[in-house]
Structure 1
Amino acid sequence: MDAVNAILPLFAVILIGFLAVRTGYVPAEALRPVGEVVLRIALPALIFLSVAGAAPGEGLQPVALLAIGIGSLAAFACGALGAVWILGMPLRQAAMVALGISASNSGFIGYPVVQQLLGTAEAGRLLAHMMVIENLMMIPLALILSSNAGGGGSVRGSALLRDLARNPLILALGAALAFQVVGLSLPDQASRTLDLLARMSAPAALLVVGATLATLRPRGQAGAVALIVLGKLLLHPALTLAAFAAVGGLPAQFVLGAVLFAAMPMMSVYPILSQRAGLGPLAASALLVATVLGTVSIPLWLPGLRQLGLG
């Protein structure tokens, strides 16, 4: 019940954003800049504060990155094989199906949910780990496979590197790691400023998710949608849990948070990333269904994980 009480208000904010746009009360164009503020200012501030302000030994953990990476790659492989063998898709489309299964909406949904359950500091630290795997491994992997299978891989590769070099989340993470390596500490006023910026991320991000869902125009392909949604909400967190069990050596609360991040719906830009593979409408349908069903699946994961002694 505590999980439901913590999570349902967050999805209520998503519903408010959805209804505000769908009814015309707020134009969709009015909330798009809010998403840019979250992506370019609030989330980078949160990541920098979480990593640069962490005590020695509490920043990025290589073992945690390994476990998250293994779980995500395993989910990606299962998704790609399922799309090829069950749905008969070519590799360029199967790669985007696999991305929907293996990459969460960590910044806009995962962080607000885990923050409610584990607190700001732990959720921010987990978010930094998820950003590394999603932005440096899963998205590039899907785009490279999709591009190479469809031709023009070198052009897409150069564009991908350029996008990574400009990604504000990666830049914030790199700056925070450099800050730690040099041995600097954040002045109190700087920490408070970053904290103020970081606090706006959760409610604003949830409103943007709702607005995004309101603008989607999903279409058919029920079997493919079911594969992506079940893979994202059930398979990805299960494989992440198995990866942490295999790797070992991490606190139970950290494992709990990482599995919950994996249990989130796919990222909001998933339909956009899938357009070049001809899967835009399918990805939109999967995103909408996964976000709705997430209101049920996510609260169910928490008591199950606690039964296993996590959290």
Structure 2
Amino acid sequence: MLSTLADIAVIVLPVFGMVAVGYLAAKVKLVSERASDGLAEFVFSLAVPALIFKTLSESSLPEAQPWGYWISYFAGAFFAFGLAMLAARRLFGRSPQEAVIHGFAAGQANTVFVGVPLILKAYGPEGAVPLFLLIAIHLPVMLVAATVLMEGSAGFSRGTAMKLVRALALNPILIGIYAGALGRVLGIQATGIPKQMVDLIAAAATPCALISLGLSLKRYGMTGGDLAPSALISGLKLLVHPAAVYGLTFLFPMPAVWAGVAVLFAAMPSGINGYLLAQRYGIGVGASTSAVSMSTGLAVFTVALWLYVLGVG
């Protein structure tokens, strides 16, 4: 028992310790907000896409689509999404649009800044393919669903649809995924000096992502407005979502590592995209911001719990 807990601590504490380093660096003004923006852009636009390209181009992709994997994850995600929307309407009396913000925050995970470093540390290279395959469709599916629901009351305009398509087509994470998959299919891999350059950029993804998350938590606050809704959103994201996925993995056959990746992916805290969506529509900003900060802080303990349940360590 003690040995298992020690193994889990070795996985969890360095990851969230790096987040704390970023937070403290911003707190004592060692790093400015301007640097925070630049580091986040580097991680999202260059370092993580390079890591994804390197991993997928050098890995073996599954011959058949793992439909049980997709169903298990997204059924759990939309279960949490729906519960958060229902609670926003019935418990907190929020408008239909703000309910969508609550649902999106409860169903959309922080994949880049926490998911990639933590899941790769837990499962190593064996977990890379299921992780990046899920990332490939996670944001498009969740963002399209949230946008359709947000725009539904006013009528989904052609202009909104075009903006959404453009944003997804130019998303650096998705470009890295498609380039890596294409490179694998065509047998194209970086070699020589280009490979060394890709390796160096990819190696920066994990530490820079974690430091960047810590910097952003200092900017947006560790606590804030709408405490009760954000606490409920955090509970749905960290406990209900992964519990639903965990149960569904027993119904659909898949390798143990794939099941574990799906559950840990679901157990990640609320992603910053919930806050960005709220900012875009000017509604639910307090709840989404607090949910990101609160769920990230609580994830230190809940991720350890799910690692224990999954027997990872």
Q: TM-score normalised to the size of structure 2?
A: 0.89
Name structure 2 gaps, 5 residues minimum: none
Find the counterpart in structure 1 of residue 49 from structure 2.
44
Query: Deviations 1:146-165 (Å, cap 9, x if unpaired)?
Result: 12235564432221111011
Pairing partner for 2:97 from 75, 89, 92:
92
Find the counterpart in structure 2 of residue 292 from structure 1.
297
Residues 1:25 and 2:30 aligned together: yes
Check the 8 A contact 1:212/1:268 in 2, yes or no. Answer: no
Q: Which amino acid aligns with 1:203?
A: P
Residues 1:104 and 2:105 aligned together: no
Check the 8 A contact 1:146/1:277 in 2, yes or no. Answer: no
Pairing partner for 1:131 from 129, 135, 143:
135
Pairing partner for 2:212 from 208, 212, 218:
208
Identity of aligned residues (%): 28
Once residues 177 and 73 of structure 1 are traced to their aligned partners in structure 2, the CA distance between those partners, rounded to angstroms, is: 27
Segment of structure 1 superposing worse, 107-116 or 274-283: 274-283
Find the counterpart in structure 2 of residue 176 from structure 1.
180
Check the 8 A contact 1:52/1:59 in 2, yes or no. Answer: no
Name structure 1 gaps, 5 residues minimum: none
Find the counterpart in structure 2 of residue 66 from structure 1.
71
Once residues 220 and 153 of structure 2 are traced to their aligned partners in structure 1, the CA distance between those partners, rounded to angstroms, is: 27
SS at match of 2:251: helix
Q: Which amino acid aligns with 2:137?
A: I
Q: Assess, with a 3 A threshold, how the Cα gap between structure 1 residues 187 and 209 changes in structure 2: closer, same or farther.
A: closer
Segment of structure 1 superposing worse, 149-158 or 220-229: 149-158
Once residues 140 and 227 of structure 1 are traced to their aligned partners in structure 2, the CA distance between those partners, rounded to angstroms, is: 23
Q: CA deviation at 1:72?
A: 1.7
Once residues 251 and 162 of structure 1 are traced to their aligned partners in structure 2, the CA distance between those partners, rounded to angstroms, is: 35
Residues 1:273 and 2:281 aligned together: no
Segment of structure 1 superposing worse, 275-284 or 102-111: 275-284
Once residues 148 and 63 of structure 2 are traced to their aligned partners in structure 1, the CA distance between those partners, rounded to angstroms, is: 33
Q: What is the number of equivalent residue pairs in this alignment? A: 305
Alignment of 1:154-169 (within 5 A): 154-169=158-173
Segment of structure 1 superposing worse, 258-267 or 148-157: 148-157
Query: Deviations 1:156-194 (Å, cap 9, x if unpaired)?
Result: 22211110111011122222333344x324244355443
Check the 8 A contact 1:234/1:263 in 2, yes or no. Answer: yes
Pairing partner for 1:253 from 257, 276, 299:
257
Pairing partner for 1:6 from 3, 8, 11:
11
Check the 8 A contact 1:100/1:270 in 2, yes or no. Answer: yes
Q: CA deviation at 1:64?
A: 2.3
Check the 8 A contact 1:17/1:206 in 2, yes or no. Answer: yes
Q: CA deviation at 1:59?
A: 9.2
Find the counterpart in structure 2 of residue 195 from structure 1.
199
Once residues 295 and 147 of structure 2 are traced to their aligned partners in structure 1, the CA distance between those partners, rounded to angstroms, is: 22
Q: CA deviation at 1:10?
A: 1.3
- The CA RMSD over aligned residues, in Å, is 2.2
Q: TM-score normalised to the size of structure 1?
A: 0.90
Check the 8 A contact 1:144/1:156 in 2, yes or no. Answer: no
